[in-house]
Structure 1
Amino acid sequence: MRKILIVGGGYAGFYTAWKLEKKLRRDEAEITVVDPRPYMTYQPFLPEVAAGSIEARHAAISLRSHLRRTRLIHGTVTRIEHADRAVTVQPRDGEPFRLGYDIIVVTAGAVTRTFPIPGVTEHAIGMKHVEEAVAIRDRLLDAFDRASMLPPGPDRSRLLTVTFVGGGFSGVEGFAELLSLATALLKSYPELTFSDLAFHLIEARDRILPEVTDRPGEWVVRTLLERGAHIHLETQLVSAVDGHIVLSTGEEFDSHTIVWTAGNGANPVIANNTDLPVNERGSVIVRADMRVGTSDTPVPDAWAAGDAAAVPDLASSVAGALTVPNAQHAVRQGTLLASNIVASLRGKAARDYVHHSLGVVATLGLGKGIFQWKGIVITGFLAWVMHRGYHVLALPTWERKVRVFLVWVTAVLFGRDIVSLLSVQHPRRAFLHGALPRAHSAPSREVRIG
């Protein structure tokens, strides 16, 4: 039996393994997925997780629940040595070990791209994983609780100031959803007013949402400004030391919550620790059929897809264009990749990846959204419904679709759940507090009843 090793259990990796299980006979190949997390994150739902519109667990697809014939290894691949058909795996516990394979599938994804800006590493949080979205939501809810007990002033303002760095889809959706949540929270906090809120979106370019054309992008900016947001275009973050924001324009303010969504960076394992061919951006070089290599120099038994792969975009009119690193491509690449691996094992020809965009859709808060497909632009409530409809259909497995849909129905009937669980990040705090000796405690006395 051939041993197929999939590096990464994100969109492309999950779909590749999921489809291979359906297409391969049990005696054809053994499938192994290596990923440090036991679940696949459905990233388009993270803004709604941060806003409390979706339960965090419902945006995570359990690998063990849905990959029944796949061996799962919870660890991180730290090196790929394709010449030896082996990788080095670092488990969470224990020593690193080498793992052999016959066929490798690189779907390790990208990582959050950061810059050496003072204070960012210490105070900012990303929004690429479920735990980050949950932490952002709990941080905002906790800030409201604390601010409601303070008089108007700098301390209250700092708690209720939120800063997002990055104006791509992830940043704009997260920013708009969190602004929607904060505005709705004011109904439950009579001590606070709308003027206490300050939401800042910082983007280095002269526009946000580069995936849409100019006018729809301008409409999004106007909509956010009308909702009280501060949009800083052609602006860079200079410092965030101790939560004090300094912008390239000279503006300064204190911010309790800083969210970094300024794009993706190359996965360091793929960029630096593999003998597979990579381009200048640190992505695996692949052909249109997702085999690693070029048409002249293919690499045998190596495939790649998703954010870690430089997949040629055959649907683009631009020569040499690569597919955009997003969920729409990763899901379809994973599905086709599984079919191509099966075809290769059975001596058949692999197919090239060609996908014409279905358009882009973004949520901008409860009941607000934008959709664009070529020259067609839809905004407002209908676009928001289209966003939810598209993503609930794209979400893998009917089990997750039903769970998410029921949460949405519950939210319509009863509103958002505004309970903060920030304390779960320190689960032993109450226990340790109770276990501390009391310096001035009175001696206990036995009391009899009856």
Structure 2
Amino acid sequence: MSTTERPRILVVGGGYVGLYAAKRIMKKMRYGEATVTVVDPRSYMTYQPFLPEVAAGSISPRHVVVPLRRVLPKAEVLTGRVTTIDQDRKVAVVTPLVGEAYELPFDYLVIALGAVSRTFPIPGLAEQGIGMKGVEEGIGLRNHVLEQLDKAESTTDENVRRKALTFVFVGGGFAGAETIGEVEDMARDAAKYYSTIKREDMRFILVDAADKILPEVGPKLGTWGKEHLESRGIEIYLNTSMDSCVDGHVVLKNGLEVDSNTIVWTAGVKPNPALARYGLPLGPRGHVDTAPTLQVQGTDYIWAAGDNAQVPDVASRKAGVENAWCPPNAQHALRQAKVLGDNVVSGMRGFPQKEYEHSNKGAVAGLGLHKGVAMIVMGKMKIKLKGRLAWYMHRGYHGMAMPTWNRKIRVFADWTLGMFLKREVVALGALETPREEFYEAAKPAPAPAAAAAPAQKAKAS
């Protein structure tokens, strides 16, 4: 960390909003006008809409993450967490990955912490559940699913086999529907290489407390998506929830009980709980309360956007929808980050702020290779697509939304190779414990019983 007498713009969070806001600020600033400091526990930003394809092996995990230091070469990038903020002194306390916490003064503040998985106190969930918010979880899920096939192929115990081949997904929004669609696709392909496993031996279950899945694309496409997944042998239970999953024994509210080694939790998100320690005005669900200009209510030097912010949806309110808020998706995050960056520079120079206003352009979702749904909004007209064409729309939109041309090209290269080469179905579960084999080889061998006996006699004498 360098010291500077220039004003400091502190960006808390290096996700989608943090990365794009920092880029925008540095693009608009004059040379030497301010120092931009980005603080995040990870040194990279993850493009979360691609995590289901990472779990399915359609995209290399390295290609969906963007190194912050490479994209922001003129910014300070600190790997750590902002634990508290003193607004009176304009000082943040940064806790690095290693070493003591220290104070970091700032002049302008951007809150871009994003969201975390929304969980409930369900017995067994913390021990058994797998989330889908980070690339590590996407890699872990892929390795885990393929390892279950290995276990099922190798065992003679029917109960162990059945538990390994049962996969439960909780949450029917974009993350849940896309993940189960992609993982089922991968498992179907992988089963071709196992002599004793067929797709019919596997059981995929999708559970949601709502009365529909994929609500973001509307009721008709949501119904089509449900029917499509069911046609692939996926069981879908709506208006129900999971009561417990202790030791992999899943109990659903509707009375269904199954044993499963794989419980994937995608039942929504909530604002990062660290926000509660910053002394900022929060909305009823824990989001930072902002004005339409993305300024935090009651301040003129703090801005917030993305999944951790409660941003008024100006376009919907003009259309007559009262108390409309921007939904937490990549479409809004990208556009909010640009407006936020412009407003930070304007605020630093004493210029007026611009309100964020964006009309929904629709939504796209992939449900596995060549399968998807899409709703495109063009003025007052909504175009609804399903199947292969919607899947192309999904890939095209997110491929172009992926930050940096470096990552765009790598993602499209992965997709192109996938058209000609078969999907990889190798599980690298040892990645999670890479030192285990070396530890076993290096640890001291126990003393032989014959050698230990004289030593004990000598000690006794």
User: How many Å separate the matches in 2 of 1:150 and 1:23?
Assistant: 61
- For 1:150 and 1:196, the matched residues in 2 are separated by 14
Match of 2:430 among 418, 423, 436: 423
Q: Which residue of 1 aligns with 2:60?
A: 55
* 1:432 paired residue among 439, 443, 447: 439
**Aligned letter for 1:203?**
D
Aligned to 2:348: 345
> Of the candidates 165, 172, 175, which is equivalent to residue 170 of structure 1?
175
Residue in 1 that maps onto 2:259:
254
Residue 348 of structure 1: how far off its partner (Å): 2.3
How far 1:440 moved relative to its partner?
A: 8.0
Q: Deviations over 1:392-426 (max 9, x none)?
A: 10111110011111111111111211111110111
Is the 1:4–1:101 contact (alpha carbons within 8 Å) kept by the matching residues of 2?
yes
Letter of the aligned partner of 1:124 in structure 2?
A: G
Query: In the alignment, is the contact (CA less than 8 A) between 1:289 and 1:351 conserved in 2?
Result: yes
- Of residues 273, 278, 298, the one that matches 2:277 is 273
**Please, which of 396, 410, 416 is the counterpart of residue 403 of structure 1?**
410
> Does the residue aligned with 2:307 lie in a helix, a strand or coil?
helix
CA separation in 1, counterparts of 2:180 and 2:394? Answer: 16
In the alignment, is the contact (CA less than 8 A) between 2:192 and 2:198 conserved in 1?
Answer: no
Aligned to 1:334: 337
Distance (Å, rounded) in 2 between the aligned partners of 1:198 and 1:225? 12
1:182 — aligned with what? 187
**Contact kept? 2:86, 2:92, Cα under 8 Å:** yes
Q: Is the 8 A contact 1:392 1:405 kept in 2?
A: yes
Q: Who is 2:296 aligned against?
A: 292
8 Å CA contact 1:83–1:275 kept in 2: the answer is: no
Superimposed CA distance per residue, residues 289-339 of structure 1 (whole angstroms, 9 cap, x where no aligned partner): 11111xxxx312111111111111011131121100111111111111111
How large is the RMSD of aligned CA atoms in angstroms?
Answer: 1.4
- Could you tell me the percent identity over the aligned residues? 46
Letter in 2 for 1:10: G
SS in 2 for 1:292: coil
Could you tell me which of 111, 116, 133 is aligned with 1:111? 116
Name the counterpart of 2:214.
209
Q: Note the alpha carbon deviations across 1:357-401, whole angstroms, 9 max, x for none.
A: 121000000110000124321000111111111111011111001
Matches of 1:217 and 1:392, distance apart in 2: 23
Pair 1:131-2:136 in alignment: yes
- The answer to whether residue 78 in structure 2 is matched with residue 73 in structure 1 is yes
Runs of 4+ in 1 over 4 A off after TM superposition: 438-441
Q: What is the TM-score with the length of structure 1 in the denominator?
A: 0.94
Q: Which secondary structure state, in structure 1, belongs to the residue aligned with residue 184 of structure 2?
A: helix
Q: Could you list the runs of 5+ residues in structure 2 that have no partner in the other structure?
A: 1-5, 450-461
State the SS of the aligned residue for 1:211.
Answer: helix
Q: Alpha-carbon deviation of 1:438?
A: 7.4
Query: What letter is aligned with 1:263?
Result: G
Partner of 1:447: none
- Kindly state the Cα deviation for residue 81 of structure 1 after the two structures are TM-superposed: 2.0
Contact 1:53–1:407 at 8 Å: present in 2 too? Answer: yes
Offset of 1:152 from its aligned partner?
7.1
Q: What is the CA-CA distance between 1:439 and the residue it aligns to?
A: 7.5
Correspondence 1:391 to 2:398: yes
Opposite residue 172 of structure 1, the aligned amino acid is A
- 1:16-55 correspondence runs (5 A): 16-55=21-60
Greater shift, 371-380 or 199-208, is seen at 371-380
